[in-house]
Amino acid sequence: MVFLDFEQPLESLYEQLEKIQQVGQEGDVDVSVMVRELENKIKNKRKEIYSNLTGWQKVQLSRHPERPYTLFYIKQMCRKFTELHGDRYFKDDKAIVGGLASLDGQTIVIIGHQKGINTKMRQYRNFGMANPEGYRKALRLMKLAERFGFPVVTLIDTPGAFPGMEAEERGQAEAIARNLLEMAQLRVPIVCAVIGEGASGGAIGIGLGDRVYMLENTWYSVISPESCSSILWRSWDFKEQAAEALKLTADHMFEFGLIDGIIKEPLGGAHTAPEEMAKILKKQIKKAIAEIQELTIDEMIETRINKYASMGVYDVVEPLKEEESDKKVKA
């Protein structure tokens, strides 16, 4: 087990538990009462820690090395899955995966950022940072879904689109922008869920949909807390403050009306019970698809666009009385 810094009290309780269990195995002492007591203690401690997580702690959880990634969820949720590769123009991006799947008999196209599970695979997946061909592969698969009327599901988990030289040459910005435009008009339901990190353009590049959810311990922001710290505080040391200031947690995002719902995680985070997490996620995705399918296609697209059109907060000030006469003078 990997413990995060704020989980230290749990780590020592687990150590005690292990020791007692060992004693129980070795000798004739009955430790069952002590074990039960400790297990209760662990449960309560976990509740205590997890009921009060800060923004930064949730960022840490979203990056937990044991956290389930896209391919795990796909395999858990879908009876069949056939991965489809390549953008048909340049190559196959390993940081975004996608393909055809069967969700309890319904064919869907499912796409997501993919991180690696060990050092070698993290390199292979480019740490979940996609290049333009990743976004273009995603779009190709979405257009395939559109032609055959399959709902689209996207799972978001990226520290950002890759900031590399070749990414710029091949039009990282254009690839993300194109996806946003096309996803707005896609004639099939789109359900998105942030399952880990939702960093900026790299996240939203596959994240425009009829329903957008966040798992409880994830974040979604225009910039990572670290980069925000380095730009606005001019130092890397203010990531905790930046995480608070950015209000990047699922609670805030839901309160702001920028996501459609929060998906509860098992106590202690998705990684403590990944199969259970996949079940909860699947249930929500199925429910969402069914709800969206109640609309006609045109209603669905109109509702989708209106949802995004209403996102934004600003003040409206009184126009000046003299303004009318002044307007024309400016040129």
Partner 1 sequence: MGWFKRLKDGIQTATRNKKEAPEGLWYKCESCKEASTMKEMKENFYKCPHCNYHTRINSFDYFSLLFDGPYEELFIDLVSKDHLHFTDLKAYPDRLNEAYRKTQLSDAIAVAHGKINRRPLIVAAMDFKFIGGSMGSVVGERIARAIDFARQNRTPLLIISKSGGARMMESAFSLMQMAKTSAKLSQLAKAGVPYFSMLTDPTTGGVTASFAMLGDINFAEPKALIGFAGPRVIKETIKRDLPEDFQTSEFLLEHGFLDFIVDRKDLKETVSDMVSYFDPQKMDKSKMLEE
Q: Site for partner 1 (CB under 8 A): which residue of 185, 267, 291, 297?
A: 185
Structure tokens at 40: 């209760």
C-alpha distances in Å from residue 288, one per residue of 107, 161, 265: 15, 27, 18
Residue 201, helix vs strand vs coil: helix
Q: How far is the CB of 61 from partner 1 (least distance, A)?
A: 18
Structure tokens at 5: 């810094």
Under rule CB under 8 A, residue 33 binds partner 1: no
Under rule CB under 8 A, residue 190 binds partner 1: no
Of 2-10, 20-28, 139-147, 248-256, which part binds partner 1 (CB under 8 A)?
248-256
Q: Site for partner 1 (CB under 8 A): which residue of 24, 107, 233, 261?
A: 233
| Cα 32 from Cα 258, distance rounded (Å) | 49
Under rule CB under 8 A, residue 214 binds partner 1: no
Under rule CB under 8 A, residue 26 binds partner 1: no
Q: Site for partner 1 (CB under 8 A): which residue of 144, 258, 273, 295?
A: 258
Q: In degrees rounded to 5, what are phi and psi of residue 233?
A: -100, -5
Structure tokens at 194: 């942030």
Under rule CB under 8 A, residue 56 binds partner 1: no
How many Cα atoms are found within 13 Å in the side-chain-facing hemisphere of 248? Answer: 32
| Cα 198 from Cα 186, distance rounded (Å) | 22
Q: How far is the CB of 105 from partner 1 (least distance, A)?
A: 31
Under rule CB under 8 A, residue 215 binds partner 1: no
Task: Pick out residues in 140-179 that bind partner 1 (CB under 8 A).
Answer: 161-165, 167-174, 176-178
Residue 262, helix vs strand vs coil: strand
Q: Site for partner 1 (CB under 8 A): which residue of 112, 189, 196, 201?
A: 201
Q: Site for partner 1 (CB under 8 A): which residue of 215, 223, 250, 270?
A: 223
| Cα 265 from Cα 271, distance rounded (Å) | 9
User: For the purposes of burial, counting CB atoms within 10 Å of the CB of 181, is it exposed (0-12), middle (13-18) or buried (19 or more)?
Assistant: exposed
Give me the sign of the Cα torsion angle 129, 133, 136, 138.
negative
Q: How far is the CB of 280 from partner 1 (least distance, A)?
A: 23
DSSP letter assigned to residue 2: -
The residues binding partner 1 (CB under 8 A) are 161-165, 167-174, 176-178, 180-182, 184-185, 200-201, 204-205, 207-208, 220-223, 228, 231-234, 238, 241-242, 245-248, 253, 256, 258, 304-305, 308-309, 311-320, 323, 326-331
